[in-house]
Amino acid sequence: MNQKQSYYTDRINAFNKQISDLQKQNRNLSFLRLISAIGAFVLFYVILSYSLLIASTVAIILVCLLIYFVRKYKQNSKNIKRWQALVKINENEIHCLKTRHSDLFYNGEEYLKPNHSYSSDLDVFGKHSLFQLINRSVTKTGNDTLASWLSKPSLNKEISKRQEAVKELAKKIDWRQNIIQYGFTSKLKYDDPKFVIEWGKNPSPFHGKRVLQIAVTIMPFLSLAALIYSFIGSQAPITIMILANIGIHYFNSKKVSLEHEQTSKRGEMLKTYSYIIEQFEKEDWKSEKLNDLKNALASNDKLTSKKINQLTNLIELLDQRLNLVVQFLFNLLFFYELHILFRIDRWKQKYGNDIEKWFDAISEIEAISSLSNLSFNHEDWSFPNISDKHFELSLKEAGHPMIDEKTRVNNDYQLNGPGTVHIVTGSNMAGKSTFLRTVGVNIVMALAGAPVCAQEMTVSNVEINTSMRIKDSIEENESSFYAELKRIQQLIKKVNNKEKTLLLLDEILRGTNSKDKHTGSRALIKQLVKHDAVAMVATHDLELSILEEELPGQVENRFFDIKIDGDQLYFDYKVQKGFCKTFNAPILMRKMGIDLEILNEA
C-alpha cells in the first residue's frame, strides 16, 4: 500500500469511528424518545390528581425533551449520511489509485465524438478514460467544463492561472471532499443547468400582470373580512369572495401548474449549487484564478449563495401548493401560490440574468477541484512549462497516466520543430502505440492546466491531431481504409493551413497492400516536412527509416527494442534513437500454432 492509499485508509477509519459513535448515540436517543413520550402521558395522569400545574409542567418538560431528542436524532442521521458519503469518496480514491479509474463519478461518455481530433484515439472520454481518472464533479456544469478543457488547448495565460489554482486547492482535501459529499447526499436528479439559465432569462407568465397582482394583493383582506363577518352576520360576502377567487384561480391554473412544473424539480440542484458557492465564498483565496472566480460571484446587495437560497426557499414554498390544507384554505382564500409566483418573478427580474455567470463560476470551481484531486493523488507528477515557441516538446521520465507506476516504464523524449517528423519503429507489443498515446495524453493534460505524468515537461501550445484507431462504419457504408483517408485529408488540410498542430499517426494506410502503403506513407511524410508540420509516425515499415538520410535534421528515427531468448520475448519499453532491427512476429506466429517451416517444404 502506497503513502496515498494509507492516507485515505486513515481517513476512512476516522469517518467510520464517527459513524459508529453517532449510531450508538442514536440508539440511546431512540430509547430516550420512547421514555420521554411515555413519561409525558403517564406522569401527567399520575400527577394530575395532585396538581394540574405540576402535571402540566412535567408534561411540557418531557415533551420539550422529546422534541430535543427527535431533532438530535435527525441531525445525527444527517451526519451519518455525510460521513458515509465521505467513506465512499475515500474508498473510491483508493480504488482509483489501484485501477486508474473511478466508478463513483461520471466517465464522460456523452463527450465522445468520433470526428474529434484526438479524444477517441487517446481515450479521453468513456470507460477507463482520462476523464474518468480525473473527474470529481457532482454537477453537470462541472462535467461539461472539465470535458471542454480536455477537448481543446487553452491559452497560455489561462493555463498558468489554472496551475496556480490547482496547486492551492490541492492542499484543501477536506474542502474538496465536503463539496463532493454534499452533492452525493443531495442526489441530483434534475441537474439541467441550461434549462435554469434560460428560465432565469425569460420572464414568467405573470410578469407585468399588474391588474392580477393588485387583485391578489387586495382580495385576501376582503376574504378575511368576509370570513370574520360570516361568524357574526351574513355568509353571503364570503360566498361571493370564494366564487370570485375560484374564478381567478380557474383562469390562471394552467399557467400556475406550468410554472410550478418548470421550477420545482430544480430545487435540489439549486441547493447544491448554492452550497458550493457558499463554501467557496467563505474562503480567502491566494491564487489569481480562484480570486477571479470569487469576484465573479460577488455583488453589492448580498452574497450569491444567499440569493440562490432565497429562490430555493420560494420554490419550497411553492411546492406546498400540493398540500390539501394549503390548497383549500390559504390558496382558495388568500391566493397563496400566486403570491409566491409573483415573488419568484421579482427574483427573476432582479437576478435571473446572473444565473449563467454563477453556473459558469461553479463549473470552473469543480473542474479545478478535479484537477486538484489529481495533483494531490500524484504529488510526484509535475506542472509543465508551456512554451511560446513553435514547436518545442521535452519530456523527462514521462509515462502514461493510466498505467500504474509499479508497471509503468517512463521515457525521456524531445521533439523540436517545426518541420520535424519522428519515425517510430518497433516490434509488435514493443510499446510504439502506447508511447504515442503517452505523449498525446500528457499534452492534453498540460494544455488543460493539469499536472502531467512526468518529472519535467516543456511543450508548445498546439492542437493534437491523431490517426490511430480507424474503424469501419457500417451505417455510412464506409471501409476503414476510406475512413482513414478521410481522416488524413483532414490532417493535411490543417497542415496546409499552417495550423499549429502535432500529428500522432499509428500505422497509416494500413488498409491497403504493403507497396501502396509504403508509397503513400513516404509521400505523406515528405509532404508534412515540406509544410513545416510536426509529427510522430509509428510504423512497422522499416524502409521508411531511410528518409532520415534523405531529409537529415527533418526526419529522425526512434525505436523500441526487443530481446529474444529462444521462444521468450523481453521488452524494455524504452525509446531509443535509430530504427528497429529485431521483430517478433515469427515467434508469436509459432506460439499461435502457425507452422512457418511448411514454406520450406518441396
Lookup: cell for 335: 391566493
Smallest CA-to-CA distance from 317 within 331, 301, 303, 332 is with: 331
Residue-wise pLDDT for 447-469, tens only, equals 999 999 999 999 999 999 999 87
**380-600: CATH topology:** Rossmann fold (3.40.50)
pLDDT bucket at 76, cuts 50 / 70 / 90 = very high
Q: If you ran DSSP here, which 8-state letter would residue 204 be given?
A: P
The pLDDT of residue 240 is 79
Cell 484537477 appears where? 371
* pLDDT higher than 50, residue 472: no
For 71, residues 6+ apart whose C-beta sits below 8 A from its C-beta are: none
* Amino acid letter, residue 435: F
Domain ranges for the chain: 1-99, 183-372, 380-600
Query: According to the per-residue pLDDT averaged within each range, which of 237-246, 287-296, 470-479, 585-594 is highest?
Result: 287-296
Lookup: cell for 66: 422529546
Where does 494-595 show beta strands of DSSP type E?
501-506, 534-539, 555-565, 568-577
How many alpha carbons lie under 13 Å from residue 196 in its C-beta half-sphere? Answer: 28
CA 216 to CA 332: how far, in whole Å?
11
* pLDDT higher than 60, residue 495: yes
The pLDDT of residue 566 is 61
Distances (CA, A) of 331 to 240, 320, 321: 16, 10, 7
Is the distance from CB of 362 to CB of 142 less than 8 angstroms? yes
Smallest CA-to-CA distance from 440 within 126, 119, 154 is with: 119
CA 47 to CA 413: how far, in whole Å?
89
CA 573 to CA 528: how far, in whole Å?
27
The pLDDT of residue 475 is 44
**Average confidence score pLDDT of the chain:** 86
The sign of the dihedral angle between the CA atoms of 78, 82, 83, 87 is positive
